[in-house]
Structure 1
Amino acid sequence: MDKDRIYLAALLHDVGKFLERAKYYGDKNLARLLLNKLEFSNKSYFFSSCLEEVIQSVLYHYEPRDDFERIIQLADWLSSSEGRDEKENTDNVDVYYKMPLQSIFGRLFKEEKKYGYKLKKMSLETIFPEDGLKEISYRDYVDDFLDELVKVNNESQLYYLLEKYLWSVPEQASGCYTDISLFDHSKTTAAIAVCLYHQYQAGELDKKELNLMTDSTKNQFLLINADISGIQDFIFNISSKGASKSLKGRSVYITLISEIVARYIIDELELKEANLLYNGGGNFYILAPACKEEKLKEVRKNILETLLNAHNGELYFAIAGLPFSPADFSNFAELWTRASRKVAELKQKKWSEIDLKSNFKKIFGPLNDGESQNNTCDVCGVSRKNRELISNEDDLKICSMCNSFIELTKEKLKEANYYIIKRGNYGENKSINNYNDVFKSFGYQIDFLKSFDNKKSSNELVYKINDTNFLEEGCDGFIFGAYNLPINEKGNLMTFEELAVRAVREGRGDKKLGVLKLDVDNLGWIFIKGFEKNKTISRITSLSRMLGLYFKGYINCLIKQKGWQNKIYVVFSGGDDTFIVGSWNTIIEFGKEFYERFRDYTCHHSKITFSAGISIFRYNFPVVKFAEITEGALERAKNFIEENEKIPGKNKISLFGEVFNWEEFKRIIEIKDVLIDIVKRNGNKRAILNKVMRSTKGFKKILEQSNKNLFDNLRFWRLVYYLRELNKNNKNDENDAEKIINIYQKIVINNLLHKKEVKKIMIIPVAVKMAEMETKKYSKGD
């Protein structure tokens, strides 16, 4: 089929560059080398029927012989328009072949930070750039790629194999544009090529227009943006009893419904996997041909009617299509923003896309069917005649839909390693009683498995979770996501009370939950203004993908590395935000580590930061309230204005009702750790903490002066004298007073040198409060 050939050729069109950098052959010989390797390997059934045609299209797309090859050439140009103006410099081959991919974050806002990626297969451990990396080697890497390529048996496997290997390969190595990976360029080229093919087949694009395409102002494309509304209430507006079993299921459902709806649109519009430019946090972007605009309206109507039937207006999917021309590709960031604005407008008039008259009751309520309170679900608080109530182990009467979310959490997610999606003729089933019934309405069924026996039907796709070694097991690809959950010694999902108890160490600690919400600062502004020029589709989608990779993927790696698997419950993490619950002291540690690693990941860029809010509660505090309070803490952090600021600078964290910058937060933890150590070494005598708390008054003036570039030596030595009593009853050789003074001294020196300034004296009371909580004597009745 021509569409499949064009798609595969577009995906593979630049593999020659990849091979060339390792083997030093000409591009055409490399393509032949690839062909021979695949032909003489008896492993690849997928390539046996189409490879010759695909290779021919790859070979001649630079000098196309027909319209289809011209489509690939055109897609290549539109994907990275700077590629037409910037040629690879091969004068110095040794230098050229060793240039690493530069981090996309390093080039934002003209900062030009020289952070590069080592040439490594994608995994959650290899996604961090290195400062000053100057060269890489391709030889063994290409051999590994070719060895896996012969095992590919379908389009999906090829797509994910290219992501696994080409994510860290620069698309160009000219020295000017090395921040776009070969994968992002190949993906967007393939997406554009599929769109051009549909336009060509629909008669909207002829040979003459193909030759003038890059400057054409005729709308040939459609940028589809979709965003779920009502997520916060849907996830958190539930009963607190047994909440740990409900929260994750509801959160994952939001991720899954976004995945299914995106897949449904792609299948209905006859597109490919590469056309999904981004999907995360209940928001996705799809590149489609303009000829599918009417079809999109029909598809959108089906989506909304299904969701309305399933959730009575609780969840709404705003879906908008923005028509645009080839000439508009020169500023794809603007298209990205305009599409999101159209979605925002739809959110202001929810459900206007369908017949409001016939759906009035479902949209505007009442949601309850007028049944007695005995027939009301104890989790979602709604009574529905078509959903029977089930009594569960927590003595709750719950509806079949809420029960399915609990079952998803308890049985499927807690140790899932594989995600399965199955296409079938399910759409005829109009009865919706559980989450899979919703997916069946779109023609899909999903499942999560702990193990996979390498057997699947032709209409199934199996993805490995958080592991890119998928081909060996016959999987179709990989996905990243925070699916696993904290498990107790009996193999059951931990309750919030069990998580709170994890804050107790060696018989001391406060049995409390910590709740953290964070998101990236000024994300829209980063996309609009981050790139001075060359705001191409490949660059914009690369930025989105790399941000999503950190929040959907790396969070799992960090939790595992730190041994926090049974102390942290990730409610959701994806796109650009995270919401987690856990033992309160682990949540504090997580906030610090996750921020510091994010700064490493984004090249310590001054404008790429996130803000956070942390709140601490009893384990049985109402879920809806702790979500609301923590959201408020995040908003305080984002809206806090320092003395020298006219607008909020963001990049802050709210804790115990106070707002701190991240350097202050780091010092709070440092002081807290020193105080805990002092208390433990002095027989758990906590009176020491009161002494340090009173030092707040003496240090306040010193801190204020240091921020004005002043230092009162006499006042500082008075503080030293005051703290001397910390050593009074110390039977050890350690100088406890000196440890506290050293921290104060370091803060003052850094302030005087204008490095990572600490301004708020409240760092001391907060540190003391945390030390009190961690050293509190614990008994089971607490």
Structure 2
Amino acid sequence: MKFVDNDPKSLKNTVAIFDISKSDDFSGFAKWEISSYVALKKNLSKQEIEFLESQNEEIPDILTFENLASLSVKDGITNKKREFGVEALMALKGDVDNMGQFIRHSGVTESFAKYNFFSRMVDYFFSVYVPYLMENRYPNTYTVFAGGDDLFILGAWDEVLDLSTEVREKFMKFAKGSPLSFSVGLSMTKPNKPVKFIAHIAEEFLEYSKELEGKDALTIFKERVKWSDYLDDLGLYDTLQDMENSLKDGIPTAFLYRLLEFCEMSKKVKQDGDVKSTIWKSKLAYSYRRNLENKLSKELEKDFLATIDEMIEKYPSETKIVLSKFIYKQRRS
């Protein structure tokens, strides 16, 4: 193992350290690279430090879960104050799908060399490449474990959600041509919850994702969907953002929560055949007229009404996830 931090203070509780990376005694032996990432104070910007200090938070060398939660939705922080965005921690538990089936029916077990190469490459993806992504693109995150074919990560909720999306995208490219896919469970909590509790909820969500036929799924905000359906939101999130930017006071929060109610009504129609719940379409038209009529450009209004109607009708669970993400990112303080 190679330790690159030579600060004696960071080693005060260390029992023993062995660096065998360049030792002649271990020449010729296979060495397994181990990597992880933790959010560090030294990587914070001046503005981030000033904001945390304004919240009277202690800022140790390794950031606390409270620090990470406070740094959620960084765009919402201006002049040491939070203007918008929810502060929360998110736990990500992820696992490769169909691994056993792939090993049994592929050629990776034809020889030890093939199997060793395959297992090391999968492990490298999670134990080295994922921490690399975290350090360079999602700095307010924390590796609990990452290796083998699974991972457990904590951090600022919006960064963890975006990280999970990129990890899945990169893994599908990595495993292209195989039946392997990647499922996750994502749990959003306050930072004062015990890690054991947070991990338990995320694990339950992951197991729920793994029960979906064909897998390649995510569970978040108590909704389970296929990755492909979640990512294909017909431009809804971008349309909501355009609406938010074009309105002086933003989209009325009450209207957004009504949209969540319509998603639940649409689910009742799809899953239970509840005819009474089909009234959500009329309620949508009325709620829009009451809150937003004549406040948007004709083009934006047309795009929104067409998109939201189709998304709620065909993909109510996916729409609920997109709306929840938008609400948590834009909620005013």
Which category of TM-score, normalised to the shorter sequence, fits these structures? Answer: 0.7 to 0.9
Does the residue aligned with 1:762 lie in a helix, a strand or coil?
helix
Correspondence 1:310-459 to 2 at 5 A: 411=10, 435-436=15-16, 445-446=17-18, 458-459=24-25
Distance 2:255 2:8 in 1: 45
Partner of 1:556: 131
Write the deviation string for residues 387-441 of structure 1: whole angstroms up to 9, x where unpaired. xxxxxxxxxxxxxxxxxxxx999826xxxxxxxxxxxxxxxxxxxx9642xxxxx
Does the residue aligned with 2:91 lie in a helix, a strand or coil?
strand
Q: Displacement of 1:599 after TM fit?
A: 0.9
Work out which structure has the larger RCO, using CA pairs closer than 8 Å and 6 or more positions apart in sequence.
Answer: 2
Correspondence 1:616-655 to 2 at 5 A: 616-640=188-212, 648-655=213-220
| Aligned-CA RMSD value | 4.0
Partner of 1:775: 330
**Structure 1 residues 669 and 628, CA gap change in structure 2 (3 angstroms):** farther
Partner of 2:91: 515
Q: Displacement of 1:734 after TM fit?
A: 5.1
Matched, 1:659 2:224: yes
Correspondence 1:457-472 to 2 at 5 A: 458-459=24-25
Q: Please tell me whether the aligned partners of residues 676 and 774 of structure 1 are also in contact (alpha carbons under 8 angstroms).
A: no
- TM-score of the two chains, using structure 2 as the length reference: 0.72
Q: Please tell me whether the aligned partners of residues 218 and 224 of structure 2 are also in contact (alpha carbons under 8 angstroms).
A: yes
Distance 1:543 1:722 in 2: 56
**Structure 1 residues 497 and 697, CA gap change in structure 2 (3 angstroms):** closer
One-letter amino acid matched to 2:36: Y
**Structure 1 residues 610 and 408, CA gap change in structure 2 (3 angstroms):** farther
Partner of 1:101: none
Distance 1:509 1:764 in 2: 19
Distance 1:615 1:410 in 2: 34
Partner of 1:544: 119
Q: Please tell me whether the aligned partners of residues 679 and 686 of structure 1 are also in contact (alpha carbons under 8 angstroms).
A: no
Write the deviation string for residues 47-94 of structure 1: whole angstroms up to 9, x where unpaired. xxxxxxxxxxxxxxxxxxxxxxxxxxxxxxxxxxxxxxxxxxxxxxxx
Q: Displacement of 1:579 after TM fit?
A: 0.5
One-letter amino acid matched to 2:329: E
Distance 2:91 2:148 in 1: 19
Matched, 1:586 2:152: no
**Structure 1 residues 602 and 499, CA gap change in structure 2 (3 angstroms):** same
Partner of 1:484: 37
Partner of 1:328: none
**Structure 1 residues 599 and 521, CA gap change in structure 2 (3 angstroms):** same
One-letter amino acid matched to 1:771: F
Partner of 1:738: 303
Write the deviation string for residues 234-277 of structure 1: whole angstroms up to 9, x where unpaired. xxxxxxxxxxxxxxxxxxxxxx7xx9xxxxxxxxxxxxxxxxxx
Aligned to 2:181, which of 596, 609, 614? Answer: 609
Q: Displacement of 1:477 after TM fit?
A: 9.8
Write the deviation string for residues 329-353 of structure 1: whole angstroms up to 9, x where unpaired. xxxxxxxxxxxxxxxxxxxxxxxxx
Partner of 1:595: 168
Q: Displacement of 1:656 after TM fit?
A: 2.1
Partner of 1:169: none
Q: Displacement of 1:717 after TM fit?
A: 8.8
Q: Displacement of 1:525 after TM fit?
A: 2.4
Does the residue aligned with 2:187 lie in a helix, a strand or coil?
strand
Write the deviation string for residues 195-219 of structure 1: whole angstroms up to 9, x where unpaired. xxxxxxxxxxxxxxxxxxxxxxxxx
Partner of 1:693: 260
One-letter amino acid matched to 2:72: A
**Structure 1 residues 716 and 617, CA gap change in structure 2 (3 angstroms):** closer
Q: Please tell me whether the aligned partners of residues 243 and 300 of structure 2 are also in contact (alpha carbons under 8 angstroms).
A: no
Q: Displacement of 1:630 after TM fit?
A: 1.3
Distance 2:268 2:199 in 1: 37
Which structure has the larger Rg over C-alpha atoms? 1
Does the residue aligned with 1:735 lie in a helix, a strand or coil?
helix
Q: Please tell me whether the aligned partners of residues 503 and 583 of structure 1 are also in contact (alpha carbons under 8 angstroms).
A: yes
Does the residue aligned with 1:581 lie in a helix, a strand or coil?
strand
Q: Please tell me whether the aligned partners of residues 501 and 511 of structure 1 are also in contact (alpha carbons under 8 angstroms).
A: yes
One-letter amino acid matched to 1:638: K
Indicate the larger mover: 649-658 or 504-513: 649-658
**Structure 1 residues 678 and 534, CA gap change in structure 2 (3 angstroms):** same
Q: Please tell me whether the aligned partners of residues 209 and 219 of structure 2 are also in contact (alpha carbons under 8 angstroms).
A: yes
**Structure 1 residues 524 and 693, CA gap change in structure 2 (3 angstroms):** closer
**Runs of at least 5 residues in structure 1 that lack an aligned partner in the other structure:** 1-255, 260-406, 413-432, 437-444, 462-475, 641-647, 705-714, 749-757
Partner of 1:247: none
Write the deviation string for residues 558-595 of structure 1: whole angstroms up to 9, x where unpaired. 3355x212x21111111100110011111111111111
Matched, 1:494 2:68: no
Partner of 1:764: 319
**Structure 1 residues 537 and 679, CA gap change in structure 2 (3 angstroms):** same
**Structure 1 residues 534 and 497, CA gap change in structure 2 (3 angstroms):** closer
Write the deviation string for residues 606-644 of structure 1: whole angstroms up to 9, x where unpaired. x2012211101101101111112211211121124xxxx
Does the residue aligned with 2:304 lie in a helix, a strand or coil?
helix
Q: Displacement of 1:730 after TM fit?
A: 2.3
**Structure 1 residues 539 and 657, CA gap change in structure 2 (3 angstroms):** same
Q: Please tell me whether the aligned partners of residues 89 and 155 of structure 2 are also in contact (alpha carbons under 8 angstroms).
A: yes
Write the deviation string for residues 257-310 of structure 1: whole angstroms up to 9, x where unpaired. xx9xxxxxxxxxxxxxxxxxxxxxxxxxxxxxxxxxxxxxxxxxxxxxxxxxxx
One-letter amino acid matched to 2:10: E
Q: Displacement of 1:541 after TM fit?
A: 2.1
One-letter amino acid matched to 1:692: L
Correspondence 1:289-328 to 2 at 5 A: none
Does the residue aligned with 2:186 lie in a helix, a strand or coil?
strand
Q: Displacement of 1:518 after TM fit?
A: 0.8
Q: Please tell me whether the aligned partners of residues 482 and 572 of structure 1 are also in contact (alpha carbons under 8 angstroms).
A: no
Q: Please tell me whether the aligned partners of residues 267 and 317 of structure 2 are also in contact (alpha carbons under 8 angstroms).
A: no
**Structure 1 residues 600 and 610, CA gap change in structure 2 (3 angstroms):** same
Q: Please tell me whether the aligned partners of residues 727 and 737 of structure 1 are also in contact (alpha carbons under 8 angstroms).
A: no
Distance 1:649 1:598 in 2: 16
One-letter amino acid matched to 1:693: L
Distance 1:697 1:458 in 2: 64
Q: Percent identity?
A: 24
Distance 2:111 2:26 in 1: 34
One-letter amino acid matched to 2:116: T
Distance 1:503 1:639 in 2: 30
One-letter amino acid matched to 1:580: I
